[in-house]
Structures are given as C-alpha cells and as structure tokens.
Structure 1
Amino acid sequence: MLANKKFLISLFLGIVIISGCSANNNNNNQDNVVQAAQNLQAQQDKINELEEKYQRLDDMEQIKQVKARYFRFVDEKKWTDLANLFTDDAKIVADGAEYPGGGPAFAKMIGDLVGEAPTVHHGHMPEIEMIDKENAKAVWAMEDLLTFPDKKGSPPGHNGYGQYHETYRKVNGVWKISSMELTRFRMDPLKNWDTNTDPVTGQPITKK
C-alpha cells in the first residue's frame, strides 16, 4: 500500500513537473515570437526611414538639376526649354519687378532683351528645404555677367551678385520652379556687346 502511495505521489509530481516545463516552454516560445516580431518591426522602421531619407536626397538632387538647367538655358538662349522649367502658375519677381505670365512670358522677355549677346550665369551654395513630398524651397547665391546688344534703348550691362529665393512643386513626378525672386547685393557696370564683334572672342567679325 505504501509503495502504491509512493508511486502515485511520484507520478503526480512528475506530471506537475512536466506540466510546469511545458508551460515554461510555451511562455518562452511566446516571448521569442514577440521579440522576433519587435525585431522585424524595428528593421522595417529602419528601412522606411532610409527609404524616406533616400527619396528626400534624390528630390533635392533633382531640384539642383532644375536650377542648373535654368542657368544653362539662359546662357544657351534656349528660351522654350527655360519656360518649361516653371509651373503654369509660377510667380516671378526680379529686382523688385514682377513678371506676370509665368515661365513663357519671362523667357520671352529675357530672350527679347538679351538676343544673341553673351551672358554668364552661375548659382552656388544652395540651401534646400523639403516642405513635404511635393513642395520645397531654397536660397541660391548667384553671380551673373550680363550684357545686352549695344543699341539704343538697351539697358546697361552688369556683373551682378545676389540671391534667388525660390519654391518648387512636383508636377506629374517632375520638379518645377513655382516661384522665383531675384534680389541683388551688388552690380558692377559692364560695357554692352557690340553686335559687330564675335560674342565669344570679342574680336571684330570679318565680313566675307
């Protein structure tokens, strides 16, 4: 009888121990699952953060490209390409004067003034701030060497220094200038371009 009681007690204790171990294993498994899920979420959050950072840097680079084309198109006299850099409703202010009509009107005005006269435009040290995924703003330091055809009614040439304050908007996946304001710190006068001279060398054009 005593032997049977010892056996039953041993059996009962064994069941209790096994049950306890099983419960501990279940708890451990649950903890492991929770920890794995937390680790996975942390990794996904990091990936999302890196993707957002990459997109932000890519957008900033695209905005730099837009402004680089602005300077290049002016100097290459590509007025249609210049106009296409702006949104349809772009607000443009230069030296305190507002130019209605957006990019096309502004590009035509510059083209009519400059004609084939040689010009040089440089932009430097952009401070770009992303407002959201489709809007941004920036300040650019600038220098321009601008001469006009030397004829009656032409404004005087200059070597100027100042800033562009601009906003940008992504339109159908493409960044465009939505507003532009040019202010100047200094303007040194330059002699205008003699249309009888080569715009690159400055030498008189030999007529054949």
Structure 2
Amino acid sequence: MPNTEDILRELLDREQLKELRARYFRFLDLRDQEGFATVFTEDAVLEVPEVDLVFRGREEIAAKVLASVSGAVSAHHGHTPELIFTGPDTATGIWAMQDIVEWPRAASGERIGITGVGHYRDEYVREDGEWRIAKVRLVRIRVQTLSEL
C-alpha cells in the first residue's frame, strides 16, 4: 500500500500535468511562441496522423504549430484527463479535446475555419523538476468546416 508521501506526490504530479496541458492550450490560443515552446522537451514529437504531419523538437513544434493558425482566432479545450504514471518521472495522458479555429471571413461572407473533437495522447517527462510534453499525438474523430455549421 502506498504511503502518505507517495500519495501526496502523485496528487501534486497530477495537478502539475493538468496545469502543463492548460498552459499548452493558453499559449497556443494566445500565439505565445516562447511560452508554447516551454511546455515541450527539447526533442519532443508532435503527430497529427489525419494530415500526415510530424514535427520534431520544441522549436519546430512551436514555430510550425503557431504558423498554422496565424491570423486566426482559436479556442482549444482539453477535458477529462486520464493520467497514468509509468515511472517516477514519466507519465502518459489521454485528453478529450475540442477546438475551433476561425480565420477572417471570405469576401463572400462565408466563415473560414474548422471545429473538431478528438483526443490528445501525450507522453510526459519530468526534467529539472518540471513536467514537459515529450510526445503529442492528436487524433481527431470529427472535423467540420465552419461553413457547414
């Protein structure tokens, strides 16, 4: 049976992982490239299989992800985390997600953008006492263009 110190450590780690994911969403939606880069390990990997996309390294991830939403207004949300500790300084997580990304309207007045739902599948590593994302895999289960809504 785990002792009180181990239980408290796991609870604190869970909260820190939730805050890490929250910072990911906030930095992404605010286009904070420096802040966004800090949530990743130096050699992090981000995958989006539906569009055959893979970015490697915190700098590439931050630059290319934020460039992909340049000029848009976005809101990204993560819900119902399923966190599993795989070692004292490693963990995995699955987050249900929903997002909306909208660019300025077309000359015709048509809305340009997408909204989607799916799951983030993460791998985390604690480095220098801070949790960071080592791998992200975004699997969408539904995407709609805003003009379809």
> Could you say which TM-score interval applies, normalised by the shorter chain?
0.7 to 0.9
Does 1 or 2 have the higher relative contact order (CA < 8 Å, sep 6+)? 2
Q: Which residue of 2 aligns with 1:180?
A: 136
Superposition map of 1:1-208 within 5 A: 49-96=3-50, 97-148=52-103, 157-191=113-147
User: Is 1:131–1:137's contact at 8 Å kept on the other side of the alignment?
Assistant: yes
Q: Which amino acid in 1 is paired with 2:103?
A: F
Q: CA deviation at 1:101?
A: 2.9
Distance 1:176 1:149 in 2: 33
Q: Which amino acid in 2 is paired with 1:84?
A: T
- Identical counterparts, % of pairs: 33
Structure 2 SS opposite 1:127: strand
Distance 1:167 1:84 in 2: 15
Distance 1:90 1:130 in 2: 18
More helix by share: 1
Unaligned stretches of 5+ in structure 2? 107-111
Partner deviation per Cα, 1:27-64 (whole Å, 9 max, x = no partner): xxxxxxxxxxxxxxxxxxx8x70000100110111000
After superposing on structure 2, the runs of 4+ consecutive aligned residues of structure 1 that deviate more than 6 Å are none
C-alpha RMSD of matched pairs (Å): 1.8
Point out the structure with max Rg over C-alpha.
1
Distance 1:134 1:102 in 2: 20
Unaligned stretches of 5+ in structure 1? 1-45, 192-208
How many residue pairs match? The answer is: 141
Structure 1 SS opposite 2:9: helix
Partner deviation per Cα, 1:82-112 (whole Å, 9 max, x = no partner): 0111001111101443423322212211222
Normalised TM-score (structure 2): 0.87
